[in-house]
């Protein structure tokens, strides 16, 4: 990554510090990788990766995804692992993490048992998802189309769709005015199907 790219990443910083450095360092050490190895895998420079780990630079979402790929994880998992200290956390309307792509807003900060995202406008990831744990989709405005377990569903405003863990699915919103809320149990959580003690 050259100086120009680093400057662009710094320009995208949000108002609140994003503590992804510790999560990146921890994951790298778990895999017993050097900074040079992660640099080779991600295409980013060793100095820039070092700055990320030491909280002196905050990557763009694109750069964070490259780091996550190099560390055999996802950007979402790194963000979730970045801060586990909050127990009460307010996210104001219009607030953005500074890293999410256009039209995607995290509604929960840090590392918790659930994560929630708000998608606005036309969205189409173009790929299939399969999560370890349960997920709920709720259409606030507009509509979206979901394919799950070989069936197609059209969701309108006020509709919700529950997907249990392991269900393969893909979705896309179908209008500029669409607002979709997705709430899911984190993949790092070992969900149980019945209460303990039974």
Helix axes 61-70, 35-42, angle to 10 degrees: 120
CB 50 within 8 A of CB 82: no
List b or e across 75-103, with b for residues whose CB sees 16 or more CB atoms inside 10 angstroms: bbbbbbbbbeeeeeeeeeeeeebbbbeeb
Please indicate, yes or no, whether the overall pTM of this predicted structure exceeds 0.75: no
Q: What is the DSSP letter of 181?
A: E
For residue 121, what are its two tokens? Answer: 């406008």
Q: What percent of the chain has pLDDT over 70?
A: 77
Is the pLDDT score of 16 beyond 50?
no
Query: Residue 54 — very low, low, confident or very high, per pLDDT cuts 50/70/90?
Result: confident
């Amino acid at each position: 990554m050259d100086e120009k790219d680093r400057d662009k990443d710094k320009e995208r910083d949000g108002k609140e510090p994003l503590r992804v450095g510790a999560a990146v360092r921890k994951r790298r050490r778990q895999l017993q990788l050097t900074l040079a190895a992660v640099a080779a895998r991600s295409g980013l420079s060793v100095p820039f990766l070092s700055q990320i780990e030491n909280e002196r630079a905050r990557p763009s979402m694109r750069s964070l995804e490259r780091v996550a790929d190099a560390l055999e994880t996802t950007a979402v998992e790194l963000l979730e692992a970045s801060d586990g200290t909050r127990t009460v956390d307010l996210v104001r309307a219009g607030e953005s993490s500074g890293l999410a792509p256009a039209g995607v807003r995290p509604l929960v900060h840090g590392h918790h048992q659930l994560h929630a995202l708000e998608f606005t406008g036309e969205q189409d990831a173009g790929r299939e998802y399969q999560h370890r744990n349960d997920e709920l989709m709720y259409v606030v405005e507009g509509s979206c189309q979901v394919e799950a377990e070989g069936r197609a569903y059209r969701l309108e405003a006020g509709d919700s769709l529950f997907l249990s863990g392991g269900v393969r699915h893909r979705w896309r919103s179908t209008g500029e005015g669409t607002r979709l809320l997705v709430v899911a149990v984190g993949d790092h959580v070992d969900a149980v199907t019945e209460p303990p003690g039974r």
